[in-house]
């Protein structure tokens, strides 16, 4: 390897690190926009519709880290299902995590599993999602969780 080659390699290394740092600085702002323009309206629409079924829900945020939608058991104050979208620490793109938490009955313990958030959507396309896409994903996970809770033998 010549002197020019290793110097070029070193310069390329520092350029790659600079780009990563720049992206890490932009990602929390992109997550904030995602929450504000897509997640909040989706969760609000879903909450409004759930009230028709006498199901209370609520939105919870941890600024810059996560946003969650909690669904209670029908006609109850006890939480049943949680859909949490998380921005992993040191993220340099919107490769989000999804945590599904829930309890099968009002007296059971909360169980949790972590999955990739909408694994078929590229991080570069997260900000292009429609609120309806997110609502469909919440419903899909809620239905799956509820069916399993009702049919899984103890």
Over residues 19-36, the pLDDT tens digits come to 778 767 788 999 999 999
Over residues 69-84, the pLDDT tens digits come to 999 999 999 999 999 9
Domain limits, the chain: 28-151
Rg (CA), the chain: 20
Bridge partners of 59, per DSSP, are 69
**Model confidence at 138: pLDDT above 90:** yes
Spatial distance between the Cα atoms of 85 and 43, rounded to a whole number of angstroms: 12
């Amino acid at each position: 390897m010549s002197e020019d080659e290793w110097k070029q390699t070193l310069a390329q290394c520092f350029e790659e690190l600079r780009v990563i740092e720049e992206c890490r600085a932009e990602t929390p702002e992109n997550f904030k926009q995602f929450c504000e323009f897509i997640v909040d309206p989706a969760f609000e629409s879903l909450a409004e519709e759930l009230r028709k079924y006498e199901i209370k829900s609520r939105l919870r945020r941890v600024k810059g880290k996560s946003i969650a939608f909690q669904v209670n058991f029908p006609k109850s104050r006890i939480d049943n299902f949680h859909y949490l979208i998380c921005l992993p620490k040191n993220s340099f793109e919107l490769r989000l995590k999804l945590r599904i938490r829930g309890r099968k009955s009002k007296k059971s313990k909360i169980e949790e599993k972590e999955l990739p958030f909408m694994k078929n959507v590229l991080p570069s396309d997260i900000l292009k999602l429609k609120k309806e896409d997110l609502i469909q994903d919440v419903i899909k996970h809620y239905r799956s969780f509820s069916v399993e809770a009702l049919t899984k033998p103890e």
